[in-house]
Structure 1
């Protein structure tokens, strides 16, 4: 346990464990990808994971184009609804393979929307890479091709993920317990 900003956080995945998984995922992607790959990172939560993953992909021998998309399915509440595009990608994905990168796959609604959007724009295929998979909360029919960790059924923070705009900077993933 660690105390940050007066809150006690139980560390679920250490910085070292995360780094090992990111390296493994990069090698997994590099085994089939080439430099025509477009990596699309979902903002805001995936920015740390995506940055580490694309650097690891470089070391694994591939140089993808990197894009960012920002989507919202919550508005002011906490229950998912219609997905909106807040910031779109700039790249033309027609005829190209895409790796859609997000921090956590939970309900799957947002990622299913993004995957369908990219396929409708002509992407050759859209694979999904997530650091965390919270299987018990799935509402959409979608699975990730590349998964770092199975996520316990709790609200997680750190490594880009936040609660109330706090804790994104943590180098580990944890659960606020008090």
Structure 2
């Protein structure tokens, strides 16, 4: 175990081993849909580690999706969503006629994922599925459930595995919560 794992300021919720095992299962589930011309769209910044590992897991089960990114934000440096989703960086690839898998880190209010789905639907995607690392079981601001979910998550602010608080903790190989700052 590294020093960050045993740090008194962080509590591990999902270990690297649990995440890796679940990613293999998710890749099998997604491959089972036999989606031709698949485009994976990672919502940055929080999903970048999850998306990278998921794409490698998809490769391991025989898929070769194209990949693009968009940066959406409703948090900025805060721990609470502002309620307004902004496009900070748009995609490069055309989604018209494509099967799209949107990958995001946390589904909580649902606003960001709903915004991304609506945007890509308006741009002509043939189908859109969503995959989240964490699904917080709480009332949503919009009616949305993910198509694929790695883990249900307690209603706590989490960090690690790409997720941050004020740009810290993204590098951690696990998902945890800050118990002391």
TM-score past 0.5 threshold: yes
Query: Is 1:89 the counterpart of 2:56 in the alignment?
Result: no
Query: Is 1:141 the counterpart of 2:143 in the alignment?
Result: yes
The correspondence for 1:123, drawn from 122, 125, 130, is: 125
Alignment check: 8 A CA contact 1:34 1:64 kept: no
Q: What's the offset of the Cα at 1:33?
A: 3.2
Alpha-carbon spacing, 1:166–1:27, altered in 2? closer, same or farther (3 Å):
same
Alignment check: 8 A CA contact 1:34 1:62 kept: no
Superposition TM-score, scaled by structure 1 size: 0.93
What SS does structure 1 have at the residue aligned with 2:24? helix
CA RMSD across the alignment: 1.9
Distance 1:22 1:161 in 2: 17
Alpha-carbon spacing, 1:76–1:169, altered in 2? closer, same or farther (3 Å):
closer
Unmatched 5+ residue regions in structure 1?
none
Q: What's the offset of the Cα at 1:79?
A: 3.5
Which residue does 2:21 correspond to in 1? Answer: 20
Which residue does 1:172 correspond to in 2? Answer: 174
Distance 1:156 1:127 in 2: 24
Which residue does 2:60 correspond to in 1? Answer: 59
Matched residue pairs, number? Answer: 178
Q: What's the offset of the Cα at 1:35?
A: 4.6
Q: What's the offset of the Cα at 1:46?
A: 0.2
Alignment check: 8 A CA contact 1:131 1:147 kept: yes
Which residue does 1:33 correspond to in 2? Answer: 34
Query: Is 1:8 the counterpart of 2:37 in the alignment?
Result: no
Farther-moved stretch of structure 1 (132-141 vs 48-57):
132-141
Query: Is 1:43 the counterpart of 2:44 in the alignment?
Result: yes
Q: What's the offset of the Cα at 1:137?
A: 4.2
Which residue does 1:98 correspond to in 2? Answer: 100
What SS does structure 1 have at the residue aligned with 2:155? coil
What SS does structure 1 have at the residue aligned with 2:134? strand
Dislocated runs of 4+, deviation >4 Å? none
